[in-house]
Structures are given as structure tokens and as C-alpha cells.
Amino acid sequence: MIENHIKEGAVLTKYVISGGNPLHGEVEISGAKNAAVAILPAALLVDGVCRIENVPNISDVTMILGILRDLGAEVRMINPTTVELDCSHVYKQNVPYELARQIRASYYLIGALLGRFGRAEVPPPGGCDLGVRPIDQHLKGFYAMGAEIQVENGFIYAASPTGRLHGAQIYLDVVSVGATMNILLAAALADGLTVIENAAKEPHIVDLANFLNSMGARIKGAGTDIIRITGGRELHGSNYTIIPDQIETGTLMIAAAATGGDVVITGAIPTHMESLSAKLLEMGVYVSEDDDRIHVRSEGNLRAVNIKTQVYPGFPTDLQQPMTSLLTIANGSSIVTETIYEARFKYIEELRRMGANIRVIDRTAIVDGVDRLIGAPVTATDLRAGASMIVAGLMADGVTEVSGVKYIMRGYEDIDKKLIGLGAHIERSVKMGGL
């Protein structure tokens, strides 16, 4: 699906960005990564065809589709962003190590397979290295629903002795996006009522619940911290369109502000962006909204602001990294506090190489604004670190070579092409595979 091969044998390795060009024009948002990676496995819950539209063309989606194929699902690409999934003939409940380790979202196979077949064998998930990322709350939920869980030989074995799960009252000790969605997947077919307390409220949770409801599930309260799922009813195939990506929208809003640009973002959901819009307005950026369009304009001269990452509707951790790039050129000192992940500041070393003045103390970064960043070779250490490097490269003087593009391709569809469409100067650097 994703074209990371530019021509036969060649692999995209770097974005070479000549900075200093204000972004202008319109750009359309793709489907939400973190919704797609749960909605696609949800198709496992039915004998029948699910047609999913607005699927982002990114490598994490390619991986999930690869896993579904491996399990025996029929995967038909109707076009690059529409897929039909038929899981009627799925015959395996074990996900191979090599596939699962490549992405975080492979944990959703546990909930979906347990829900449909009463058993799952899945290796612990991979994904971006942001420090320790336990999944104890997922497993606690499955256990409460009657699954026996063993973790051994590098696999998670989950199985219900009766072959079915039952409803349960589950209080999450930490507000977890992944656990909330995984329990939704498992509970949709479970017998009786499941209640998730202290649930996460992110837009992709509502999207997954809407998809499951379109398949005949009975889920109420998604988007609040108490979700009730009445299971036990057979589900059916459905047509569904994934919501626009909140984090891609935010990254492009930040890029527009960072370059002193004037950009209209289309196909977005402005209410998902309120925490970012509020911060940009506080910095002196013009932000206005109209239906599914967000207009961002900046003439520079930005004010420093403080950011604290929080669960939705707070400031998203996934925008902390690109936002910090923007803060490097604000007037004054900004304080960025990361509360979700213990190790999401690795990219700051790369920003320093471009002239940023940032100190990190534990989970806080103190950003003292500088006049400008200077282009340098930098590395994307994870997906959103990649977004941070791109924003920094767009606003820096000179040339920035961003390597580690494979991380960026996990979650941003054609980010370079979209930015070039707005007037950015970005070239792709490729190398021949195996060299």
C-alpha cells in the first residue's frame, strides 16, 4: 500500500529541507492513524464484509493489514484509502512475532481475537520507544472478562476457558487510550454488560465506538470517562469512514505558524484541536475555524507559552514534540511538561544541534527562545520526533537533512508532498536497498 520504494530497489531515507519558506495555501487532512489501527482489527469481530474509507496510507496501516492477511482475512484495496475486509475465513488466533513487534497497535489483536474466538496469542507490542509502555490495564480488563492470561516465551497467551468472554466492571488505574479501545473490542461480543470506568476520551475512542455501533454493537458513553457496552449480540459488516487525524492537523497548524505562513487546513475537525488552537492564540498566532476548515496565519514575533501534556481534551502528548520546535523561536522562556511518557524528550538533543536553547530537567523542558534555528543533519528518533524535525527544518536557515524517515512514514501520509504543495522546499533522498 505505502510507496516507500521510490523506484525498484530504492528506499526513501531522508527528507532534505531548505528552510525559510512561509507555507501558503490549502491542505487536506488524511484519516486518523490511531483510529485506523483499531478499527481495522475490529473487522475481525464479524463474519461479513467491512468497507472502511479514509484509511491513511501509512506504514502502520500496512502492517495491521499484513497481520490481518496472515490470520486469514481477505483484504481488498479498493483505492489507496479504501479497504474492504472480510474476516469470515480467519483461521488463526496467533500473531507472528516479526509482524507484531513492528507496531504498537498490534495489541488490538488481543482484544479483537479474544472477543471473536475466545483466545489470542500475540507478542507484546513494539512501536516508538517512549520509555516503559506497560499494557497491564489491557490485561486486567481481559482478566475481569473471564480470560486467563499467561505471559511466557515472549508471547501473551489469553484465553477464556468457556470460549466466550463475559461483561465486567473495569476501573482503569491509569487513563489509557490503548486499554480503553482494547476493552471495547473485547466487550462488543462479550455476554452481558461491561462498564469501563476512568476511560480515555480521545476522538479515536469515539470513532472506534461509532464503528462498532455501526456493526450492531451497543456502546454508550464513548467520549466520557464511563463507557457502557452491552454485548452478546451478533455483529454484522458495515461501511464506515474514519475521522481526520488530529495529530496531522496539529502538526500542519504548527508548521504554518512556525514558517510565518497562511494556511487553510481542510477536512479537519476543529473541536478536536481546541487545546492546540488555544496555545497558538496565546502565542499570537491567528487561528480561525469554519465547519471542517482551520485557518492559521502568523507574522512571526511569537510569545513563549507553557505546555503540559494531558489526556484528551488536554494538550496531546503527540503534539508536544512539534510544538517544542515552534517554541524554540518564541520570545521568552516556555516550559514544556510531559506527563504521559517518561522518555519523550530524546529529540531535544537534535533540536539543540540546530541552535535551540533547551534544558531538560526530568520531565520538564525549559525552552529559551532564540532568533533562529540553523539547518543541520538530524535524526527522527520516533514518529513525532520526526514531525518535530520537519517543523524545525521548515523554519531554519539553510538545509536540514532529516533521517529516520521510516518512523515518519508510520504515521504521516505523504507529509513531504503535502508541505511541498504549500510551498515548502523538500527533496527526497533515496538509497539503493541493501547497500
Binding site for ligand EPU (CB under 6 A): 33-34, 37, 104-105, 128, 133-138, 174, 176-179, 200, 317-318, 340-341, 383-384, 411
Cell 481488498 appears where?
76
Cell output for 178: 490503548
Nearer to ligand EPU, 275 or 317 (CB): 317
Chain centre distance of CA 166: 30
Q: Residue for cell digits 490511531?
A: 34
For residues 63 and 330, which CB has a smaller minimum distance to ligand EPU in the complex? 63
Distances (CA, A) of 194 to 23, 37, 126, 184, 427: 48, 22, 28, 9, 50
- Give the position of cell 521510516: 406
CB nearer ligand EPU, residue 21 or residue 59: 59
CB 216 within 8 A of CB 236: yes
User: ∠ CA 279-281-284 to the nearest 5 degrees?
Assistant: 115
Nine cell digits for residue 62? 500496512
Of the two residues 306 and 310, which places its CB atom closer to ligand EPU in the complex?
310
How many angstroms separate the Cα of 388 from the Cα of each of 52, 245, 345, 402?
30, 17, 11, 10
- In angstroms, what is the minimal distance from the CB of 133 to ligand EPU? 5
Which residue in 128, 254, 311, 405 is the catalytic one?
Answer: 128
d(CA 259, CA 326): 9
Instruction: Please confirm, yes or no, whether 128 is among the known catalytic residues.
Output: yes
Of 341, 339, 360, 338, residue with least CA distance to 349: 360
CB of 67 vs ligand EPU, minimal distance in Å: 13
**Nearest distance from C-beta of residue 68 to ligand EPU, angstroms:** 16
Nearer to ligand EPU, 117 or 312 (CB): 312
Q: Which residues of 363-402 are buried (b: 16+ CB within 10 A; e: fewer)?
A: bebebebeeebbbbebbbbbbbbbbbbbbbbbbbeebbbb
Q: Which is nearer to ligand EPU, 137 or 213 (CB)?
A: 137
Minimum CB distance to ligand EPU smaller for 111 or for 178: 178
Active site residues: 128
